[in-house]
Amino acid sequence: EASARSKALVVQRELAAAAQMDGTQVRLETVQAMTGYGTSSIYKRMAEGTFPKPVRRNPRCVRWVAGDVKAWLARTQETTTA
């Protein structure tokens, strides 16, 4: 339970930083919170070339650039409202 709470706090901090700075690198959990998509949906869209690719920080760590995800969200919303 404590680790779930700490993960939730990390996501909240990353969402707050992403709202202010487009260059912020965010974790998968934060991307999920931003988009409402699960892990498999995000990776499926990446494979299709329709979702931003993450930045690999080391062999076991990837982060998404918040500005890329926000721009993708804006494009997606434009096409669904048009």
- The reported pLDDT for the residue numbered 20 is 83
- Tell me which residues of the chain have a pLDDT lower than 50: none
Q: What is the pTM of this model?
A: 0.82
Coil, helix or strand for 65?
strand
Q: What six digits make up the tokens of 15? A: 């969402």
- The reported pLDDT for the residue numbered 82 is 59
Q: What six digits make up the tokens of 72? A: 């993708």
